[in-house]
Structures are given as structure tokens and as C-alpha cells.
Amino acid sequence: MLIGRRSARNSHTMDKSITLPPDEIFRNLENAKRFAIDIGGSLTKLAYYSTVQHKVAKVRSFDHATKEAASDKLYEISVQEEVTARLHFIKFENAYIETCLDFIKDHLVNTDTKVIKATGGGAHKFKELIERKLGLKVDKEDEMTCLIKGCNFVLRNIPHEAFVYAKHADSEFRFQTTQPDIFPYLLVNIGSGVSIVKVESEDKFERIGGSSIGGGTFWGLGALLTKTKRFDELLQLASKGQHTSVDMLVKDIYGGSYGSLGLTGDLIASSFGKSATADKEFSKEDMAKSLLHMISNDIGQLACLYAKLHNLSRVYFGGFFIRGHPVTMHTITYSINFFTKGEVQALFLRHEGYLGAIGAFLKGAEEDNPNQYSWGENYAGSSGLMSVSPDMNPMQRARSGTFDMLEMDRLERQLVNLPLLQDPSSYIPDTMDLTEDALAREYWLYCFEEALDGVVKRAVASQPDMPEAAQRAEKFRQKYRHKLQTLRQQPFAYGSLTVRSLLDTREHCLNEFNFPDPYSKIKQKENDMALKYYQKAVKSLEELSWEQRQFALVRVELMAFISCEHPERPWLVDSYDQWFERLKGPPHKCALFFVDNSGVDIILGVMPFVRELLSRGTEVVLASNSGPALNDVTNGELQILTERIAAMDPVIQAGLREDRLMLVQSGSSSPCLDLSRLDKVLAMVVRERQTDLVIIEGMGRAIHTNYYAMLSCESLKMAVIKNSWLADRLGGKLFSVVFKYEVPAGKPSQHSAALSPL
Amino acid sequence: YNVHSGTEISHTMDKSITLPPDEIFRNLENAKRFAIDIGGSLTKLAYYSTVQHKVAKVRSFDHATKVNRDDKLYEISVQEEVTARLHFIKFENAYIETCLDFIKDHLVNTDTKVIKATGGGAHKFKELIERKLGLKVDKEDEMTCLIKGCNFVLRNIPHEAFVYAKHADSEFRFQTTQPDIFPYLLVNIGSGVSIVKVESEDKFERIGGSSIGGGTFWGLGALLTKTKRFDELLQLASKGQHTSVDMLVKDIYGGSYGSLGLTGDLIASSFGKSATADKEFSKEDMAKSLLHMISNDIGQLACLYAKLHNLSRVYFGGFFIRGHPVTMHTITYSINFFTKGEVQALFLRHEGYLGAIGAFLKGAEEDNPNQYSWGENYAGSSGLMSVSPDMNPMQRARSGTFDMLEMDRLERQLVNLPLLQDPSSYIPDTMDLTEDALAREYWLYCFEEALDGVVKRAVASQPDMPEAAQRAEKFRQKYRHKLQTLRQQPL
């Protein structure tokens, strides 16, 4: 985001980006340091580290000692400036390098920077130019080391970085969930030639093979055969050709398949075999296609053989031959499937083009320990996948073929897997993949577009004292609408499209325009209101019998979400009876409770529930968002609320005092929940306290995400479906209740008979 | 040999373009069990025949019934003996009709009803063969024939396999026959590439292959250079410089890429320079680059499959290899590079005949050819390299057209002496004249000098036969010709 003096000058319409003002591309240059540059055959990738100032909303209890409560407000909200670290990666054609260097020179304020790390084949060619323009010393880094470092970094930090390509599937891209352990893997880098690298750990890799038949061969032979000099044009030709007119197929030799050897008739027996004897002219398209097949198949076979020899199952492909080209991704994928009979999948990377630059940057930034932090892709500042694909509509292509950006925010907290996930490697947070489900995608994109006016209004209303808020809100509207449009055309732009990613993108865009927490005042009001009813609510619950109370707690918890009449049982998903039976048994050791909304939900729904658990002798860990998202209660707010409740309620007070009730932050600022990216402290607490129950509540965390999440301990997912389309999808109707109590298979508890999961 | 038509034959091999067919198709009278392997450009014909030999027999005098007329210890008699011989003839497809006509005219044996056929061209010429010969064409699986033939030559022909070393004193280093030939990898480079793992006489599996093969060299070469003939493309390649077309490691990094162990001269990208350079490339350079690209690729694939299947013997065959020093060299180089010398590229002297031999063996199973030992008949066989483009043109023109292999069935089955310490490393010969040029000179001279004496001895051994002198003269010419051939091609 652009802060301070220049923000007013910026046109935030990405559509004009061929003539994009450089300050839109090279953002936050004022504070930039640690430059790195990767100069390839045609594209330059620049990386730098910078800091951005955010406005963040902070909550604080009024200091009752020195100050009268000016109003009846529960706590004070202040907007503060906070500095966070961000990595910027910009990709542009080599032709622009001089202009770009000039711009950087003019805007670079930070004078500590003395050195620029450089990698890539073109680094030595432009060394003198860079040194003269920037006045920085060019420090060359080993290309392969940078590539691998960059690859490790994106695989570890960007969810949905890797994907499988399937041309004819409903969704071309199938994104892979981040693996807890990324090693070992095989990286097949197809540049001019091919390098096949086995990566065993962060610092250990070996080039185990390679081939001279690579992208340069396609380009070089293609140019000789077709007189077409541009790589992209050659690919275009290839995508239109018929290889069978040039290649000799098995059936051309044997009249059909060669059954005894298992060779089908359509298999290519000899690439260019027909041009050996046929006395005719071959079309450029056909020759280009034949060449593409020949090279892709060859690389595919070599990759498979090396993978087998070294017993590796994850094979990533990169390099300019692959980069964003559906044609080559398709032929490579086909080849891998053919040679391994599906045993090995060809994997591609969303940010493959940036690996060298990222790696060079990391080499230069080692003293900042970038690998000790977790990083998150900033959807607001990043171009999506495939913005350079030749298959995109020409306008879009022309736009973003020129410049492409990736921004990554350093997250305050290091993120790790929830230790209670049954199988971290197969965990997928999102319930529905909108990339693969066209109907669902249509619906949700429409929803978010419809809701945009309301969000804009809310944002403006949240800053009544700031006259330019309306203007900023308008810019937010344009940016987010543009993202939605991009996603409609390229649903895969930021990995799998999900309700979560749509919500998160909206949060990133709001932050971008300094609307750090549009709901802060509403939350404050609601919390204040609810708190007034707390004691009364607790009292009425206390008056119920134990059995009645258990059901009332669940009812109240669910009621908090809706204002209409509570639906009768049986609910859409209803394992209350099993839960109730379980409650008759011994208490849980420790419950981890992911909370949702501010106000009635947290105060009148969650807290009484927590109280009951504490009374049973169960320790409770309350996990709330680190940063704001919609009206979700944040960790900061929850601290204050809990203190206030403790002052009224001896059970909660005792819990806090005896450390049986603990508040932790989730590490997230999303209305949804990714159990594979949680605060490291939370994971530690969960492990130390031998947590044996996980409670997740609310639509965002229990329905949009984690609906199918399998945990290694008992779990309880509670939500009311407040969206009729989604309710319909799940087989219910609006305000259907989901109460899902699950016990992992093979872990029967004392009351196993009653505890079979639904 | 040539018992019946001996007098008609001109024994000057030099005229062999117009070689009379009866020089080529010998012993047709008694021929049976025909097999034919029709490739893209060459036809290989195989048949089984019997030859009548004169053999000298010795016998003790029958003392009981006969009086000892002189003081001789035993009696010597010359008898006719019939032995089995396999004939293999290779000729260009262009001659197929003429050859079929000749065979038809001279085929006496009427028991033959069927001809076994294999090779990609078999179905194309099926009708012609059936019409001309009146035999039913019986197709045999190409790969099975190839493997059967390969097993047969590896087992029966000593020094069948060799290693090629372009710059060594002797280009060819022959391998001694291994007591156990299995398992091995056969890389057959025809139009495409088949990589076959052979585990026993009857068990083989095509474990891999590639579409980048001889057809690709030929096809891409033709498109790039407008040169349509395979041999000419190889000629071009042997004269070119690949470095003007290929992008080397040093072209990218200014030198070697030390941390990855890549030397500066390594090809980083085949044809990488033609992607951006705005210049014309010579036909020779492009052909050379193409040859390297394909040979290296096949070499790498072969090595990877050999490693994956734990095989150390890798034989290369197919028309891409067949007698072409250029391709043998590049394949050998590639194998050495990728295996760091752990695996050797092996080639076969009679590689071109494998399919025909295999097809013949399929048809001759009732004669149990695998139960006998067979020996190459040097008198009736053309030597290795007679089709090499590097040979002197006259010689090339001669034997490019026809090439022969004859194998005699040996009376006794031959095996290793069980007392050999290490049968696999046993080499009977003390001195290898292929590798020792001085010794070779000397011994070739010796044998030539001794020839007159041998001729005299031969004539003297048959005082009763007036035509002995004439036959001895033919012997002299044939043997002298062989000696001359060996001087030029010691292999």
C-alpha cells in the first residue's frame, strides 16, 4: 500500500498498466533495502524488502484510575500506525530495465543500501549498467542456489503454490495443499537446456542430471524450421498444428498397434519420421507441434527416470519453457502421465518465475533471518497466476505481460500446523473449491459483488472524522471489484478460489486503503450491550437442571447467530445426543475453542459454555483472531472482555487466576480458519495442555472451512447456516443448524457405544 | 565350396556390383526354410542349406580280409560329406525383385512352402514375395526375431560384440564371448528407439523407448539441410562443428559452471544459438549438432534404464548405428559421459542380420538350431564395415550393395573347458593383431609369403586329380584377397 505523501497521486486502476506509473509498480521504494535482481534471457525480476506503515485499530481499557469514563463505552479504540515488513517482487521485460533503474534511483531514499544481489544468465551483461545507474555494487550469486532457495521459500510460505495442470478438466488447475515437509523433491528447470536437481533439505541439493534438449532447442530448431523468431509465436504455432503429419506413428509402421509390446497405434514411433522420406512441404504449425511433443516427451521421460532412480515422488517443473504456458504444461503433464502411468504427478508453481529473485534476495537478507518468519501472499498487491499466458484475452495479456508483481507480508507470528490434525498432509481447510465448481463460483462471486456496496458504506461509516474516507472507500471498491473480475476470468489466479480467499482478499484490500477495522465501533457497541446481560444469562442457566443446562448452552450458543425462532431438532447435522452422552462421562483434559463473533456470540454464547467446561474441570484455551476481520472478536478485544467478565463471575475469575482459562491468538486475520497456519504459541499450548477437545463455531470456521477437517481428538463444530444457497447445497434450508460432534476412529472413549460419529 | 557351379564363378570380388546372383545366393539348390527381414531400406534374406564337402578320412586297414599291400599305417580316403550351412544375404530393397526372380529360378527343393518374414517392410512386399516365390509369407514378431537373432550371434560368434574407440590405436576392441550372455540391454535405434531388457532366451521386455531416433535425425536433418539421403546426412555431420549451433555452458556463464560440475564445453542447449542469432548456419554444422543431440539423448536414456534395471551390458543396434563409425562414436561418447565409464556401449558385428536370423530360427525350430554350435565361415562372409561411408569409395560401392554371412553347423557342440579359471576373461589368442600394428604387418606379410608354399602343398596332395592346380589357384586368389582386405580392415 502507498502511504503518506504520494498516495494521492496514485491512480489505482490496474487497467492502464502498460502505461502504469512506475510508482504503482515499485511500491514503498522510500524504505526499500536489500535489493536483488534476477536477469533472465528476456525478463528481469527485481526483489526488495521494505516496510509499510499500516493503520491498525487497537483497543485499550480506559484507565479508570486517572480518567472518568467519558462515556459508557467498554473500552477505547484508537487507530495507530504500525510498521510491518513486506517483500516486493516485480517482473518486467528486459527492455524496460534502464527506465526502471532510473526510477528506482530517483526514489530510493534509504542510503544504507550498498549492494545489490544479482543472479541469472543476464546478470553479467547488465552489471555495468546497474552499478552505474544505481550506484550499488553488484554482488553475483550462484544461479542454482538462488533457484532452490526461492523454491523452498514459496513451497513453505505460500499455500496453494503448487498445482497440477489438467487441460480438459473442469478446472485446469488443481492446487496442492502445503505439505508439512516439503523435502525431498525433484526440480526440473527447463531453461535453454534442462537441469534436473534433487533437493533434500534447505541447504542440500544436487544436480543429478540434465539435458541439452530444452527450451532453447524448441526455440532454436523451431526458428530454423519455421522462420519464426519469437518463442511465444512458436508456441502459438505449435498449439494449432497436427503432429501426426510430421511424426511417424506406430500405426504408420505396423498398420495398427504393436500389441505384443503394448504400443498403441497413435504412439509416436519416430519424431519427424515422416519428413525423412516424404517429398512434401510441412506446415509451420505441424512442425512446431511435432517439435514441442518431441521435447516435452523427452524431458518428461528423463524426469520420470531420475525420479524413479532417486525414489522421489514430487517433481516440480519450472523455467521459461514452462512459465505460464498452458501448452507446455499440458505436454509435460501428458508425458509424465504416460511414462509413470500416473504414479508421478507433474507439479507446477504459481510463482515459478520469481524463484531466482527470491533466492537471491534471501541470500542477501540472511541477517534479517527471513526464514525464521512466516510470510503471506498479499492478494491486494500481487498479480495473479497466468497474467502472462498467451491464451488470455489480448487486452489482459497486453496489460500484465509487461509487469507482474508479487508482494509478501511478513506475518507477526510464525505459523504452524495444529498438532491435532489427523493427517496434516491431506488437510484441506476449504469445504468447497470454487475453482472446480463453476456454479458455486458464479454464486459466490455474485454474492461478493452484491455485498460490495454495503462494505463500502460500512468502511466510510467507520471513519466519520475523516473527510477523505469516502474517496479511499471508492478506491477500495474499484480495486476489489477488479480483483473479482479477474477471478471470474481466471479463478485460479491466487491458488484455489474459495469463500475464504474471497474474504481474505477483501480484508487485504481494505487494509490497503487504510480501513484497518471497519467494524471496530459496532463490535464495541455490541460487546457493551451483551455484557449487560451476562449475569442474568448465567443466572438463568444456573437455575436449570444439569441436563436442561447442557442443551440450553448449545441452544444459546447457536441462538447467538440468529434472531428468528430456533429450528427444532433434529437439526441438519445433529449429534447432540452423542455429545450429551459424552458429557456424562469424565471431563475433558483441555478444550481448544476457536471463537467467532463479537457481542452476543462471544459473551452470551461462548462464555457460559466456557464456564460450564471450567466447572467440569476442563481447561479451556480460547483462540481468537490476531487481527480484525469483519465483526469477529479479536484477541485484543477478548482480553478486555474476559477481564470484565471475570470481575462479575467468580468461575471465570478462578479460571484465569489458576491458569485453567487461557487466551491465545490464532495468528489469523481472517473470518475463516486454516488449521495448517496457526500461531506457533497456540500449537505449543495445545501440545503442553494435552488438548483432547477442539470446538469450532460459526459459518466461516466450521462450514466454509473445516467442515470435513479430521482431527486426532474429539471435536465439536457448531454453526447456523445463514445463507440459503449454501444451506441448499448442504441439503437443508436457511438457518439450518449444524451440530457435528466427532470422535476419531480408533479412539473410543469410555462411552463408545453412544459416541459413533455422525 | 561351390561344388557344382564352381567354374562359372568369377572370383574377383571387385566387380561385385554386377556380381552374378549365384555368387550371392549360394547353395540355393538345397535351400529350405527361408526367412526375410525387410527394413526401411535393406532386405535381409536367410536360408538353410546343405553343402557337400570333400573330407579326408583315415581308416586302419582291415587286416583280416585284406593283405597289407604296403607298409602304410592306415588308409586315407576322400569322401563326400554333407553339412548344414546358414546363409544370410543383405541387399538394398531396390534389388528385391531381381533377387526374388533368381531365387525362384534356382530353387530346387519343393518341400519349402513358407517364408518367414519380419521387419517393418514385410507387409509392404508380402504380395510380391508370395507371387514371385509361390511361398506363403508367414509374419513373425519383429522384436522377438531381433532378440532371438541377438542371442544367437552372441552365443555362436566369438568376437561378435565390440567396443568402439575412435581415437584409439584400434577403433574396435572385440569382447570375448561370455559364458552367460544374459541379462543384457538392447537399444535398437531404428526410426525410433526401443530399449529392451533381455533376461533369458525367451524372456524379454521393452522397458522403454523414445521417439527421438534415426528417423528424427533423418527427418529433421532433411528439413534443415535439404539433404535427403541418410548416408549423406552422416557425411555432413562428420564434417560439421556443433559449437556454432549449440549453446555451450561457457556461452552462458563465460566458462565452466564449477559448483554444478559442468565444464564450459558441455552443450547446455542443443540448437540454442539458432534461437536468437540472426545468421545462416551451415548444413554441416546443423547436421553435427543434430547428431550430437540425438546420440546424447539416446545415450542418457540407455544409461538410466541400465541403472534402473541394474544391467551392465548394453548393446546398440538398428540402422542408425549399423556400421556407421560416426554414430558409434557419438553414442559411445555419450555413454561414457553419463556413466563415467561404468557402462560400455557395445556394438555387434552382425547387427544388421539379427532380425533375419531370428525369423529364420523361428521357422527352423524343428531343426533345433539352438542345440548345435555354429561357426562363422570366413570364406563365405563379408567382413565388418563393408558398408561404412568412411571406407574407400570403390570398396564402399562394391559391398554396400550385397553383404553376406555364412555359418556352418559344427558336428559337435562346443563348450568351455571346465577347468578354465575364469571363462569370462579367457582369451585364447596370445597376441591381438588388431591392436598391434607392427605385429599385424609382420604376420600378414608372413602369410602372404607362405601362400605359394601352401598352394604347392595343396596341388601335391592330390596327384590323381588333374584340375587340382586350377582349384589351388582359386584358393590362392581368394585367400590373397582376404589378406588384402584384412590389411585395410584388420577387423
**pLDDT averaged over chain A?**
84
pLDDT beyond 70 at A400: no
Residue type, position A694, single letter: V
Residue type, position A52, single letter: V
Report how many helices (DSSP H) and strands (DSSP E) chain A contains, helices first: 24, 25
Spatial distance between the Cα atoms of B171 and B351, rounded to a whole number of angstroms: 17
Asked if the Cβ–Cβ distance from A268 to B211 is below 8 Å, we say yes
Residue B66's CB is within 10 A of a number of other CB atoms, namely 9
A625 bridge partner residues: A634
Residue type, position A357, single letter: A
What are B259's three cell numbers? 559448483
Distances in Å between the alpha carbon of B96 and those of A50, B118, B228, B230?
79, 15, 22, 20
Q: Where are the alpha helices (DSSP H) in B199-271?
A: 214-225, 230-239, 249-253
At residue A173's C-alpha, the angle toward residues A170 and A178, to 5°, is 130
Report the largest interatomic distance among the alpha carbons of chain B, rounded to a whole angstrom: 98
The answer for residues whose C-beta is within 8 angstroms of residue B238's C-beta and 6 or more apart is B288, B326, B390
Spatial distance between the Cα atoms of A239 and A289, rounded to a whole number of angstroms: 7
What are A350's three cell numbers? 504459481
pLDDT beyond 50 at A753: no
Asked if the Cβ–Cβ distance from B271 to A276 is below 8 Å, we say no
Spatial distance between the Cα atoms of A330 and A334, rounded to a whole number of angstroms: 6
DSSP-derived 3-state class of residue B410: coil
Spatial distance between the Cα atoms of B408 and A627, rounded to a whole number of angstroms: 91
Spatial distance between the Cα atoms of A431 and A498, rounded to a whole number of angstroms: 8
The answer for residues whose C-beta is within 8 angstroms of residue A48's C-beta and 6 or more apart is A29, A32, A33, A34, A35, A36, A87, A88, A361
Residue type, position A272, single letter: F
pLDDT beyond 80 at A335: yes
Residues of chain A in contact with residue B247, where contact means CB-CB under 8 angstroms, are 192-193, 216, 220
Spatial distance between the Cα atoms of A749 and A584, rounded to a whole number of angstroms: 12
| pLDDT higher at A354 or A587 | A587
Asked if the Cβ–Cβ distance from A261 to B206 is below 8 Å, we say yes
Place of cell 478485544: A637
Distance to chain B for A586, nearest Cα, Å: 57
Q: Cis (ω within 30 of 0) for the bond into A567?
A: no
Q: % helix / strand / coil in chain A, to the nearest 5? A: 45, 20, 35
Cβ pairs A/B, distance under 8 A: 181
- Among all residues of chain A, which has the CA nearest to that of B227? A276
Whether the Cβ atoms of residue A329 and residue A165 lie closer than 8 Å to each other:
yes
Spatial distance between the Cα atoms of A292 and A218, rounded to a whole number of angstroms: 7
Determine the pLDDT at residue A398: 34
Whether the Cβ atoms of residue A475 and residue A458 lie closer than 8 Å to each other:
no
pLDDT beyond 90 at A543: yes
Spatial distance between the Cα atoms of A194 and A217, rounded to a whole number of angstroms: 10
The answer for residues whose C-beta is within 8 angstroms of residue A370's C-beta and 6 or more apart is A87, A153, A362, A410
Residues A144-168 have a mean pLDDT of: 88
Tell me what ipTM this predicted complex has: 0.77
Query: What DSSP assignment string belongs to A77-132?
Result: EEEEEEEEEEEEEEEEEGGGHHHHHHHHHHH-------EEEEESTTHHHHHHHHHH
**Which of residues 141 through 180 in chain B touch A, CB cutoff 8 A?**
141, 143-144
- For residue B269, give the nearest of A217, A271, A274 by CB distance: A217
Asked if the Cβ–Cβ distance from B192 to A248 is below 8 Å, we say yes
Residues of chain B in contact with residue A297, where contact means CB-CB under 8 angstroms, are 210-211
Spatial distance between the Cα atoms of A88 and B354, rounded to a whole number of angstroms: 64
Closest CA to A413 of A452, A455, A374: A374
Spatial distance between the Cα atoms of B38 and B125, rounded to a whole number of angstroms: 8
- For residue A274, give the nearest of B144, B219, B293 by CB distance: B219
Asked if the Cβ–Cβ distance from A262 to B206 is below 8 Å, we say yes
Q: Which helix (H) or strand (E) holds B153?
A: helix B142-156
- In sign, the C-alpha dihedral spanning A631, A632, A637, A642 is positive
Whether the Cβ atoms of residue A269 and residue A244 lie closer than 8 Å to each other:
no
Whether the Cβ atoms of residue B61 and residue B74 lie closer than 8 Å to each other:
yes
Question: Exposed (0-12), middle (13-18) or buried (19+): which is A80, by Cβ within 10 Å?
Answer: exposed
- Among all residues of chain B, which has the CA nearest to that of A262? B206
- For residue A220, give the nearest of B218, B259, B275 by CB distance: B275
Distance to chain A for B300, nearest Cα, Å: 8
- Band of the pLDDT at A9, cuts 50, 70, 90? very low
Q: Which helix (H) or strand (E) holds B347?
A: strand B344-348
Whether the Cβ atoms of residue B84 and residue B52 lie closer than 8 Å to each other:
no
Distances in Å between the alpha carbon of B318 and those of A275, A392, B352, B402?
19, 46, 7, 18
Determine the pLDDT at residue A134: 86
Distances in Å between the alpha carbon of B22 and those of A21, B37, B129, B467?
88, 20, 19, 22
B161 bridge partner residues: B348
Residues A635-647 have a mean pLDDT of: 94
What are A204's three cell numbers? 542440500
Residues of chain A in contact with residue B143, where contact means CB-CB under 8 angstroms, are 260-261
The 10 Å CB-count burial string (b at 16+, else e) for A188-211 is bbbbbbbbbbbbeeeeebebebbb
Spatial distance between the Cα atoms of A643 and A246, rounded to a whole number of angstroms: 78
- Band of the pLDDT at A399, cuts 50, 70, 90? very low
Residues of chain B in contact with residue A248, where contact means CB-CB under 8 angstroms, are 191-192, 215, 219
Torsion, Cα of A685, A689, A695, A700 (10° steps): 10
Whether the Cβ atoms of residue B135 and residue B57 lie closer than 8 Å to each other:
no
| pLDDT higher at A344 or B91 | A344
The answer for residues whose C-beta is within 8 angstroms of residue B279's C-beta and 6 or more apart is none
Distance to chain A for B218, nearest Cα, Å: 5
The answer for residues whose C-beta is within 8 angstroms of residue A58's C-beta and 6 or more apart is A77, A78, A79, A80, A636
Spatial distance between the Cα atoms of A716 and A577, rounded to a whole number of angstroms: 13
What are A177's three cell numbers? 495443499
Determine the pLDDT at residue A387: 42
Spatial distance between the Cα atoms of B359 and B142, rounded to a whole number of angstroms: 8
Residues of chain B in contact with residue A273, where contact means CB-CB under 8 angstroms, are 191-192, 211, 215-216, 218-219
Spatial distance between the Cα atoms of A232 and A326, rounded to a whole number of angstroms: 12
Kindly give the confidence (pLDDT) of every residue in chain B, 491 residues in length, as a single tens digit, with 9 standing for 90 and above: 333 333 333 333 222 334 455 566 666 777 778 889 987 777 888 888 887 777 777 777 666 555 555 667 777 777 877 778 888 888 877 788 888 888 887 776 667 788 899 987 787 888 888 988 888 899 888 899 999 999 998 988 878 888 888 766 667 777 777 778 899 999 999 889 999 999 998 899 999 999 999 999 999 999 999 998 888 999 999 999 999 999 998 888 778 888 888 888 999 999 999 987 778 999 999 999 999 999 999 999 999 999 999 999 999 998 898 878 889 999 999 999 998 888 889 999 888 889 989 998 888 776 666 666 677 776 666 655 443 334 333 333 333 445 777 777 766 667 777 777 777 777 777 777 777 788 888 888 888 888 888 888 888 888 888 888 888 888 888 888 888 888 877 76
Question: Among A234-238, A381-385, A391-395, A551-555, which stretch is predicted with the lowest mean pLDDT?
Answer: A391-395
- Could you tell me where the beta strands, DSSP code E, fall in A350-454? 375-377, 403-410, 415-416
What are B194's three cell numbers? 526401443
Determine the pLDDT at residue A161: 87
Determine the pLDDT at residue A13: 27
The answer for residues whose C-beta is within 8 angstroms of residue A159's C-beta and 6 or more apart is A177, A178, A495, A674, A676, A677
Question: Among A75-84, A281-290, A523-532, A716-725, which stretch is predicted with the lowest mean pLDDT?
Answer: A75-84
